[in-house]
Chains A and B, each alone.
Chain A
Amino acid sequence: DAGVTQSPTHLIKTRGQQVTLRCSPKSGHDTVSWYQQALGQGPQFIFQYYEEEERQRGNFPDRFSGHQFPNYSSELNVNALWLGDSALYLCASSLSVLAGVAKNIQYFGAGTRLSVL
Chain B
Amino acid sequence: AQTVTQSQPEMSVQEAETVTLSCTYDTSENNYYLFWYKQPPSRQMILVIRQEAYKQQNATENRFSVNFQKAAKSFSLKISDSQLGDTAMYFCAFMKPNDYKLSFGAGTTVTVRA
Contacts and interface: CB of A to CB of B under 8 A. Distances in A.
Contact of A101 (B37, B52, B93, B103): B52
Given A43-B45, A110-B44, A101 B105 contact: no
B44 A56 contact: no
Interface string B95-114: 10101111111110000000
Interface residues of B, number: 25
A117 interface: no
A55 B100 contact: yes
B97 to A, nearest CB: 8
Interface residues of A, number: 28
A104 interface: yes
B50 A42 contact: no
Contacts of B35: 105
Interface in B34-48: 35, 37, 42-47
B105 A45 contact: no
Interface string B42-73: 11111100101000000000000000000000
A82 interface: no
A42 B43 contact: no
Given A107-B47, A108-B44, A109-B44, A48 B100 contact: yes
